[in-house]
Structure 1
Amino acid sequence: MEFRWLARKELEKLKQIDRKELVEEVYYVRDHELRLVREFYDIDGWLESELGLYLQRLQSVFDGEGVIIGAFDNNVLVGIVSLEGYLIHGKTMKLDMLYVSHDYRKQGLGRRLVDIATQEATELGASELYISATPVRNTVDFYMRLGAELAMPPDAYLFELEPLDIHLILPI
């Protein structure tokens, strides 16, 4: 596995990540607590419109001097992590994106990417990561195992952008 910063021209490799996932449970925040609800989604991959929005986000992170690191297996992008290039409240960096291809999940790749992002954030002066996580149980449980906690209160601006996400803080 090769880990490296992505060049702007490589951002389109995001589509190489196999986003397939069978979701059976999602979280909602109710009364300042996580509540698990049974919901079923069969995510087959990227929707073209969605992929375009994520590529725009990556380009914005890149242009804003953020951090974008890819995990490559035989020159195929199988994981990606990105950090916004600025501090929130002088101590927090936003973990903007983390994706790991379906066949590479539960093998420590996501943790390795977060570790790399954490090291970069620390070098840039951050003491915590802000995570706006999709409410899928596997995703939220992953971040909680790393030590993330509910952001109480969530950042108002980031919450407004993604009100259905689970907003977390990960001390680093």
Structure 2
Amino acid sequence: MIIRQLDIADLPRLREIDRSERIRRIYRFRDGVMEYDEVDFEASRWSEEQIREFIADLTPELESGGVFLGALDGDGPGGETLAGVAVLGNHPLGERSDLLQLVFLHVSRPYRRRGVASALMDVVCRLARERGARGLYISATESDSAVGFYTGRGARPIEQVDPELFAREPDDIHLLLEL
């Protein structure tokens, strides 16, 4: 498995990611406290419409200096398989403009729990530090796997949510990971 920087032309490869998963808990904030509800459902693969939306949303992020990373496995049929992806934003956030956003992080179902997300996060954190950030702003999907991954790495609920990001993703769990 190698982590390598990808470019805008690689965005259509998001179709290779199988984001499906069994979700057993959904996290929410109630009265300022993060709580969870027990659920049981299968989240499906992304639709073609969702892929087009991701490409439309991520393109300007990358054009303005964001970084698109891919975790590539050379064992796939016909060459490299895209096992996971991450996008680090380039727009300073936070009261002191010292945070960068983890815009996107997904690992394909067959590659989960194999260190792919951690490897991508290690590179994202290094790049963010190199850009002078003191932390990552993470707007995490409210699933137990996403929230558990980030909190397991030391992320905690952010005290001051970014109003624009919160308006765009009000159900997400907004976290800060100090670098």
TM-score range, shorter chain: over 0.9
Residue number in structure 2 paired with 1:9: 9
Query: What residue ranges of structure 1 are gaps of 5+ in the alignment?
Result: none
Is 1:95 aligned to 2:118, yes or no? no
Corresponding residue SS for 1:85 = coil
Q: Distance in 2 between matches of 1:60 and 1:114?
A: 22
Residue number in structure 1 paired with 2:137: 130
Please give the TM-score of this superposition, normalised by the length of structure 2: 0.92
Residue number in structure 1 paired with 2:160: 153
Please give the TM-score of this superposition, normalised by the length of structure 1: 0.96
Corresponding residue SS for 2:154 = coil
**Cα offsets for 1:82-140 (capped at 9, x unmatched):** 01112113210000000001011111110110110000000001000000001001110
What is the identity, as a one-letter code, of the residue corresponding to 2:98? K
Is 1:80 aligned to 2:85, yes or no? yes
Shift of residue 73 of structure 1? 0.8
Q: Distance in 2 between matches of 1:48 and 1:17?
A: 12
Q: CA RMSD in A?
A: 1.1
Q: Which consecutive segments of 4 or more residues in structure 1 shift more than 6 A?
A: none
Shift of residue 12 of structure 1? 0.7
Corresponding residue SS for 1:87 = coil
Is 1:19 aligned to 2:22, yes or no? no
Q: Which moved more, 1:158-167 or 1:32-41?
A: 32-41
Query: What residue ranges of structure 2 are gaps of 5+ in the alignment?
Result: 75-79
Q: Distance in 2 between matches of 1:46 and 1:154?
A: 27
The 5 A counterparts of 1:23-172 are 23-74=23-74, 75-88=80-93, 89-172=96-179
Total equivalences in the alignment: 172
